[in-house]
Amino acid sequence: MSGEETLTRADLAELINRHIGFSRAESATLVEQILEVMTDAFLRGENVKISGFGTFVLRDKNGRVGRNPKTGVEVPITPRRVLTFRPSQIMRDRITTR
């Protein structure tokens, strides 16, 4: 991996190149295609589940009144859609045993 504990698209492509043997260009294209398929699903309002890894869940959050912690002034927070990730039990077990 490059950088400070961050796995990048380039890192994923490099790993595919090394472990599977695709060319660098094919590996980069594969990573981009996977991300494109996931993005399209999110745009359609669908969740994405990767067995043994986890589920990316879209949630609609209602508008509410928030408060600036420094000044105490109330500020309206608009409704929005957020993307969350829930790891599978397999992933949780792998992470917590290391």
Per-residue pLDDT of 29-84, as tens digits, reads 999 999 999 999 999 999 999 999 999 999 999 999 999 999 999 999 999 999 99
62 and 40 within one domain: no
> Is residue 4 very low, low, confident or very high in pLDDT (cuts 50, 70, 90)?
confident
Task: Report the Cα 45 to chain-centroid distance in Å.
Answer: 15
DSSP 33-59: HHHHHHHHHHHTT--EEETTTEEEEEE
CATH number at residue 57: 4.10.520.10
Helices (H) and strands (E) in the chain, counts: 3, 5
Same domain assignment for residues 25 and 60: no
């990316």: which residue's tokens? 56
Q: Which domain holds residue 8?
A: 1-45
How many domains does the structure of the chain reveal? 2
